């Protein structure tokens, strides 16, 4: 909503208040000011001039030589506009005037003739082109109504106005009209208000002979009135009215349309004028639209209506979508003589639904859908009728034809002075509260600090005590509320166990060199089912699709973060960022219902992706490429950190390299996977070798047990032994490790692979695998015999079970 300061002055004396103060107080008291549009032009040297004579310039075909009376003198002005004529009242910028764009007017000579100023076009005066009437588009502006010679021209064209652009919240529909804003500003500054008191002469025949009104759905349309106005003369509106509309950003059209728009702004009451002769019947019936019914609206669009849209009909066809937009058929045109002026109250919900369905938010629907002042429908219509008779020579017919009624039965809001102070944290006196309510012009009673307030019809948002708390607090001033902290009992805050654990997991992963990412939860249909971990897959999830996605890129909820993360990897690689190590901790959304009726299960998962170099230290020749074991090391490190035993089991998964993929198992149950992206998929995503894992973090967290125990440092020395075996290449290291650990008991503490060799000097299908073994006894120094016995056990077992050959 644009608030014109000049217009507001019509209702309130603002002489001692600057526009900046006005805007600041409006913002601080309740309605946010988006911005202030400054004056376009306010210069006394720009005045009304009378073109006494206008002759051809002796030396130039296209120029005229004018003698212009500007009151105190007559100026000779050379003018290039084709439409300048003798007898016109024009806008003259006298020498010394400054036009927009810092254009200074000076006395000059043009083709040998003195020119003492400029006759201005609207464009030169800074008028927005979209508001310039065709008559003035290619030339100078001239007044078509009575003005005084020498009078300052800027106020006449409202160029000296300041516009405060307001962002009105959904509850303050009263501030969508000057009427409501006048009350608001008067309350803020404690000022008097001068509101129009419309009167119109109604005695030009019986309107019932012209029209009848019938409401079929009283809930959607509680009240409808039709005013018949005869003999209207369609013509441009007077300048003052055009100025008002332009200040609101509405283009003037003709006097009838402009008057309805003016009332919409002044009273917040949307009106509609039908051309009576084009209505095609003598009745108006408001009813729900029929299925399949259509209407061509004023904007020329053929619109399909639904049964929950309300239409204004002539008993047969729709002539307007109630509260949203009129129809083209009965639009007021230049030859219109009799109009039906509609002043009605439509249900906010009906209008809201209709305007939403049509994607059509008009000035009218914006007001109806928030609720208009239902007690002022008639007053607003009277004001419109008055203007129609004054500005369009209209004759208003007697006995307004109406149906239904407008009711305003607000609940009294009661509260005590103490309650308000307690809730806000203030010490406002009873008298101060009374004065605030008086400034708001609410009817109220007060006895011993007990208040009863009757909200006025313009303030439908005042329903409960809390609403009055806000009214009192905002006019008292939020700035005056003290800073305090809650005085409740102390209680311990903090993170719960899982939250603490999750934070530790973040720290671990970040220390391990991974960068946290946040990807979109909504992805494509295809990606939503890609890289789904077996533990999710076995739940047989059904797709979760948005009913109306904005784009196919974000239409389905993910079952894995991996596809969107690969998108991120690809984004980086494509920008020459080849080393990418990322992780993400977030939900996947598992729905198991064919017809979804309950919330999906949101499961917390940890996903990671790595590509490029894990170590880059070129001058020492240390460039280490990420491989399976890099990412596996990070995963193992995490699970060691959490002291949770997992097993990796060779596996195959769609989208992954079949020889480099493993399932992550916790107590024999799959909880995720790890592996390299399949070369074909890498190609699809434009990726280099990329390794990923995806882990059901919820399961992992459930298995976590805090274990902060201490083990003494052993006093007795450990004995180290290395053993190397030649075995079949298919035999997995982990299997041998487990066997060795078992056979080496009770003294074998740990076993680690330290070398793997295949290839030259090795039989085909065989590999050499070497282990470090560490023997130790907590209670004594081990003897060579004890160690030798354990070693022999191990060697024998591996020879028998795996046909392993001990290397010498």
Partner 1 sequence: MKERLQSLKEEALNQIPNIESEKALQDLRVKYLGKKGQITEVLKGMGKLSPEERPVIGQLANDVRDVITTAIEEKASELDQIALQKQLEKEAIDITLPGRPVQLGGPHLLMKVIRDIEDLFISMGYTVAEGPEVETDYYNFEALNLPKGHPARDMQDSFYITEDLLMRTHTSPVQARTMLEHEGKGPVKIICPGKVYRRDNDDATHSHQFTQIEGLYIDENVRMSDLKGTLNVLAKHLFGEDRDIRLRPSFFPFTEPSVEMDISCKVCNGEGCSVCKQSGWIEILGAGMVHPNVLEMAGFDSKKYTGFAFGMGPERIAMLKYGIEDIRHFYTNDIRFLKQFHRA
**Binders of partner 1 in range 665-684 (CB under 8 A):** none
Cβ-based nearer residue to partner 1, 470 or 786: 470
**Which of 114, 412, 546, 753 forms a contact with partner 1 (CB under 8 A)?**
546
In the complex, minimum distance from the CB of residue 261 to partner 1, in angstroms, rounded to a whole number:
22
Residue 290 C-alpha from the chain's centroid = 34
Check binding of 232 to partner 1 (CB under 8 A).
Answer: no
Locate all alpha helices (DSSP H) within 297-416, ordered by sequence.
Answer: 348-357, 363-368, 377-391
Q: Does 485 bind partner 1 (CB under 8 A)?
A: yes
Task: Kindly identify the residues of this chain, within the stretch 167-226, that bind partner 1 according to CB under 8 A.
Answer: 169-172
Residue 639 Cβ, how far from partner 1 at the closest point, in Å? 18
The H or E element containing residue 298 is none
H or E stretch at 184: helix 178-189
Contact stretch for partner 1 (CB under 8 A) within 177-185, 226-234, 502-510, 704-712: 502-510
Nearer to partner 1, 292 or 488 (CB): 488
The window from 2-10, 150-158, 451-459, 578-586 that contacts partner 1 (CB under 8 A) reads 578-586
Q: What is the 3-state secondary structure (H, E, C) of 188-235?
A: HHCCCCCCCCCCCCEEEEEHHHCCEEEECCCCCCCEEEEEEEECCCCC
Give the β-pairing of 395-398 and 32-37.
unpaired
Single out the residue of 386, 568, 661, 696 in contact with partner 1 (rule: CB under 8 A): 568
Of residues 83 and 171, the one with the C-beta less far from partner 1: 171
403 contacts: CB under 8 Å, gap ≥ 6? 213, 214, 215, 223, 224, 225
How near is the Cβ of 653 to partner 1 at its closest, in Å? 24
Among the listed residues 102, 409, 491, 706, the single contact to partner 1 using CB under 8 A: 491
Decide if residue 525 touches partner 1 (CB under 8 A): no
User: In the bound complex, what is the minimum distance in angstroms from residue 511's beta carbon to partner 1?
Assistant: 7
Residue 306 tokens read as: 């639904």
Ordered DSSP codes for 511-560: HTTPEE----SEE-TTGGGTT--HHHHTT-PBP-B-SS-S-GGG-EE-S-
Encoded one letter per residue, x for contact with partner 1 by CB under 8 A and - for no contact, window 406-445 reads ----------------xxxxx-------------------
Question: Which residue in the set 489, 668, 705, 764 belongs to the binding site for partner 1 (CB under 8 A)?
Answer: 489
Please, what is the minimum distance in Å from the beta carbon of residue 160 to partner 1?
Answer: 20
Query: Which residue, 18 or 422, has its beta carbon nearer to partner 1?
Result: 422
Shortest distance in whole angstroms from residue 362 CB to partner 1: 15
Q: Are 479 and 528 in contact (CB under 8 A)?
A: no
Rounded CA-CA distance 435/430 in Å is 9
String of DSSP letters for 406-467: ----PPPEEEEHHHHHHHHT----HHHHHHHHHHHT-EEEEETTEEEEE--TT-TT--SHHH
Question: Is there binding between residue 1 and partner 1 (CB under 8 A)?
Answer: no
- Strand pairing report for 395-398 and 223-230: antiparallel
Please pick, from the candidates 202, 263, 473, 740, the single residue that binds partner 1 as defined by CB under 8 A. 473
Q: How far apart are CA 386 and CA 395, in angstroms?
A: 10
For partner 1, the closer of residues 35 and 640 by Cβ is 35
Interaction mask 734-773, partner 1, x per CB under 8 A? ----------------------------------------
Q: Where does this chain touch partner 1 (CB under 8 A) — which range of 249-257, 609-617, 714-722, 776-784?
A: 609-617
- Does 582 bind partner 1 (CB under 8 A)? Our answer is yes
* Residue 165 Cα distances to 176, 249, 253, 446, 780, angstroms: 11, 11, 23, 37, 88
CB of 787 to partner 1, least distance (A): 37
Name the segment binding partner 1 (CB under 8 A); options: 114-122, 243-251, 492-500, 754-762: 492-500
Of the pair 66, 514, the CB lying nearest partner 1 is at 514
Out of 554, 660, 732, 766, name the contact with partner 1 by CB under 8 A.
554
Shortest approach of partner 1 to residue 162 CB, angstroms? 13
What would the two tokens of residue 447 be?
């006895």
Shortest spacing between CB 469 and partner 1, in angstroms: 6
For residue 259, state whether it binds partner 1 (rule: CB under 8 A): no
Say if CB 776 and CB 792 are below 8 A apart.
no
Q: Is 470 in the site for partner 1 (CB under 8 A)?
A: yes
Q: Give the residues across from 66 on adjacent strands.
A: 54, 77
Task: Give one word for 325, left, alpha or beta, with left for phi > 0 and alpha for psi -120 to 50.
Answer: beta
- Among the residue ranges 199-207, 459-467, 658-666, 791-799, the one whose residues contact partner 1 (CB under 8 A): 459-467
Contact call for residues 695 and 605 (beta carbons, < 8 A): yes
| 487, 594, 705, 764: which one binds partner 1 (CB under 8 A) | 487
Closest approach of partner 1 to the CB of residue 567, in Å: 8
- If the CB atoms of residues 318 and 590 are measured against partner 1, the closer one turns out to be 590
Q: What is the DSSP string of 587-650?
A: EEEEB--SS--SPPEEEEEEEEEEESEEEEEGGGTEEEE--HHHHHHHHHHHHHHTT---EEEE
Phi (first) and psi of residue 72, to 5 degrees: -85, -10
Return the DSSP state at 562.
H
Among 439, 545, 632, 703, binds partner 1 (CB under 8 A): 545
Please report whether residue 713 would count as binding partner 1 according to CB under 8 A.
no
Out of 197, 484, 680, 706, name the contact with partner 1 by CB under 8 A.
484
Residues near 292 by beta carbon (within 8 Å), at least 6 away in sequence = 304, 305
d(CA 387, CA 88): 27
What's CA 627's distance to the chain center, in Å? 44
Site residues (CB under 8 A) for partner 1, limited to 585-604:
586-587, 589, 596-600, 602
Query: Of 22, 33, 220, 700, which lies in the binding site for partner 1, with binding defined by CB under 8 A?
Result: 33
**CA dist., res. 473 & res. 467, Å (int):** 10
* Region of 130-138, 291-299, 583-591, 720-728 interacting with partner 1 (CB under 8 A): 583-591
The secondary structure of residue 176, as a DSSP letter, is G
Residue numbers 613-652 binding partner 1 by CB under 8 A:
614-617, 619-620, 622
Number of residues this chain uses to bind partner 1 (CB under 8 A): 103
| 187, 378 Cβ separation under 8 angstroms | no
Q: Tell me which stretch binds partner 1 (CB under 8 A): 111-119, 127-135, 244-252, 544-552.
A: 544-552
Cα–Cα distances in Å, from 140 out to 60, 81, 88, 120, 245?
18, 6, 10, 6, 22
The one among 207, 221, 521, 603 contacting partner 1 by CB under 8 A: 521
Residues between 293 and 352 that touch partner 1 (CB under 8 A): 348-349, 352
């Amino acid at each position: 909503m644009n608030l014109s300061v000049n217009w507001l002055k019509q209702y309130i004396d603002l002489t001692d208040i600057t526009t900046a103060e006005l805007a600041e107080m409006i913002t601080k008291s309740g309605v946010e000011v988006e911005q202030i549009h400054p004056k376009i032009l306010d210069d006394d040297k720009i005045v009304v001039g009378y073109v006494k004579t206008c002759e051809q310039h002796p030396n130039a075909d296209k120029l005229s030589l004018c003698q212009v009376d500007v009151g105190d003198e007559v100026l000779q002005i050379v003018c290039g506009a084709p439409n300048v004529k003798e007898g016109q009242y024009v806008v003259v910028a006298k020498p010394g005037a400054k036009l927009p764009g810092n254009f200074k007017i000076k006395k000059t000579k043009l083709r040998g003739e003195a020119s003492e100023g400029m006759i201005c076009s609207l464009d030169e005066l800074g008028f927005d082109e979209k508001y310039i009437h065709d008559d003035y588009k290619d030339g100078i502006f001239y007044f078509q109504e009575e003005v005084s010679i020498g009078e300052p021209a800027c106020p006449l064209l409202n160029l000296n106005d300041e516009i405060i652009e307001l962002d009105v919240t959904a509850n303050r529909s009263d501030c969508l009209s000057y009427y409501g804003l006048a009350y608001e500003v008067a309350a803020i500054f404690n000022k008097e208000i001068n509101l129009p008191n419309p009167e119109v002469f109604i005695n030009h025949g019986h309107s019932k002979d012209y029209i009848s009104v019938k409401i079929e759905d009283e809930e959607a349309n509680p009240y409808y009135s039709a005013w018949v106005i005869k003999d209207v003369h369609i013509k441009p509106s007077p300048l003052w009215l055009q100025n008002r509309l332009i200040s609101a950003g509405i283009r003037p059209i003709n006097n009838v349309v402009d008057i309805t728009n003016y009332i919409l702004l002044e009273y917040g009451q949307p009106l509609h004028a039908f051309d009576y002769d084009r209505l095609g019947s003598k009745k108006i019936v408001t009813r729900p639209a029929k299925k399949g019914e259509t209407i061509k609206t004023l904007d020329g669009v053929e619109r399909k209506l639904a049964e929950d849209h309300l239409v204004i009909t002539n008993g047969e066809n729709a002539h307007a979508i109630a509260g949203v937009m009129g129809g083209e058929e009965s639009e007021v045109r230049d030859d219109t003589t009799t109009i039906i002026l509609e002043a009605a109250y439509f249900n906010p919900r009906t209008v809201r639904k209709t305007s939403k369905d049509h994607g059509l938010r008009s000035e009218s629907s914006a007001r109806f859908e928030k609720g208009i002042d239902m007690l002022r429908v008639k007053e607003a219509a009277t004001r419109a009728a008055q203007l129609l008779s004054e500005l369009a020579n209209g004759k208003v017919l007697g006995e307004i034809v109406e149906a239904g009624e407008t009711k305003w039965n607000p609940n009294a809001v009661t509260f005590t002075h103490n309650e308000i102070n307690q809730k806000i944290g203030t010490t406002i006196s009873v008298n101060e509260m009374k004065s605030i309510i008086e400034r708001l012009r609410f009817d109220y009673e007060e006895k011993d600090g007990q208040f009863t307030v009757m909200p006025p019809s313009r303030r439908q948002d005042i329903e409960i005590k809390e609403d009055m708390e806000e009214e009192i607090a905002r006019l008292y001033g939020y700035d005056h509320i003290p800073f305090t902290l809650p005085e409740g009992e102390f209680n311990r805050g903090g993170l719960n166990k899982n939250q603490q654990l999750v934070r530790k997991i973040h720290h671990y992963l970040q220390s391990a060199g991974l960068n946290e990412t946040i990807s979109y939860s909504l992805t494509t249909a295809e990606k939503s089912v890609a890289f789904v971990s077996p533990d999710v897959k076995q739940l047989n999830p059904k797709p979760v699709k948005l009913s109306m996605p904005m784009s196919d890129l974000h239409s389905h909820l993910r079952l894995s973060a991996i596809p969107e993360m690969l998108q991120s990897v690809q984004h980086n690689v494509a920008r020459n960022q080849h080393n990418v190590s990322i992780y993400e901790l977030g939900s996947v959304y598992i729905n198991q219902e064919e017809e979804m009726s309950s919330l999906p299960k949101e499961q917390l998962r940890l996903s990671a992706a790595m590509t490029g170099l894990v170590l880059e230290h070129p001058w020492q020749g240390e460039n280490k490429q990420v491989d399976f074991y890099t990412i596996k090391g990070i995963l193992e490190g995490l699970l060691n950190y959490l002291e949770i035993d997992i097993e990796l089991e060779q596996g195959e998964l769609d989208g992954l390299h079949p020889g480099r993929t493993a399932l992550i198992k916790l107590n024999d149950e799959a909880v995720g996977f790890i592996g390299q992206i399949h070369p074909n998929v890498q190609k699809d995503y434009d990726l280099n070798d990329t390794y990923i894992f995806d882990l059901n973090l919820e399961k992992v967290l459930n298995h976590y047990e805090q274990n902060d125990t201490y083990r003494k440092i052993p006093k007795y020395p450990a004995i180290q032994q290395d053993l190397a075996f030649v075995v079949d290449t298919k035999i997995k290291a982990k299997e041998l490790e487990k066997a060795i650990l078992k056979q080496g008991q009770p003294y074998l503490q740990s076993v680690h692979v330290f070398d793997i060799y295949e290839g030259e000097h090795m039989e085909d299908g065989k590999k050499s695998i070497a282990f470090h073994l560490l023997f130790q006894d907590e209670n004594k120094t081990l003897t060579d015999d004890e160690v030798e016995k354990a070693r022999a056990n191990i060697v024998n077992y591996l020879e028998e079970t795996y046909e392993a050959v001990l290397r010498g």
